[in-house]
Structure 1
Amino acid sequence: MSKVDELVGRNVARLRGTMPQQELARQVRERSGHKWSQATVWSVEKGERPLRFSEAIALAEVLNCKLDDLMARDWSQRRLQEALFSLQFYLDRAADAVADVHSDAVPLVRQARLEAQDRVSSGELDERAKAELRYWISLAGDRLQAVESQFPREVWHGVDQEAS
């Protein structure tokens, strides 16, 4: 019984989770053709029986993991690293989405404000309508300023600096 076999055995038991040993043996047997039984799984998990490479491949397929997961020394560190990579991936996607919204919305709000200011200046509106439109122009300006202060352009990669 080697340290590596013990490590692999602990990882197999951890990866197996609540799956019964007999079920794991059946699935490995079906995938690989090796004569696995519940006793084989027990021996592997105790580190008393080394794995053949073809068995390790079948095990990884059945347990839906990578081969190196069977050899992982620091399981919690590995899971933390995977979670951090996943978090980074989704944060990057969120940053891209915010950048898209920012780059699409800011020019539209600016254009709407300009058109509204043109209407106020055109003389087409009575004083009450002009006052209401000025209020909305001011509100749009305030909101635009708030968005730009919360999400400065230079923070979001891929945002066109010329859009402003």
Structure 2
Amino acid sequence: MKKDDFEIGRELANIRLKRSLSQDQLADMMNERGHQWSRKTVWSMERGIRSIRLSEAYDLEDVLGVSLFGKAESEDATYKEFVEDRWENEVKDAVERIRLAYDEAYELGLTLHLVGFRMDDGESKELAACLSGFGEGLSRLYSDAPEFLHGKDAGEEFIRLVRGHVTPPTQEEDKA
């Protein structure tokens, strides 16, 4: 059974408290292993707001001396599920950031085009033409974006497009 970020976060908080560790202490322990954690990082994870990255998972389990992610009949199967879940979350976040950037570029393009179009005094004609042209270009960038980036479920759609074409690494491959 898969655990979601909220369940893992709640378990993390319980284990941390049983070990009498503060959020700052856990963050310091993870910093010693090369992760850039703060009390806010731990707080966000414990509430399921921030996912635990794959690169952090092993160290976190080692620091706490437990398994947060459970063991399946096959450890490789658990690892594969873990990798797939983390990958999906990271891809969805990245696609959403791209979608929002396209939306912002489109809005900026419209604004610049209108500003340029409204400027018509002699000295500003060259600037007006530049703003208008740049605005049109940004608007075209949005229009030419892949169709899945125009929807609210862009991340889910992207995952559907690539599922089956990506094979997560095994635990041994990932360590190599």
So what's the TM-score if we normalise by structure 1? Answer: 0.42
Larger CA Rg, structure 1 vs 2 = 1
Q: Give the helix-richer structure, 1 or 2.
A: 1
So what's the TM-score if we normalise by structure 2? Answer: 0.39
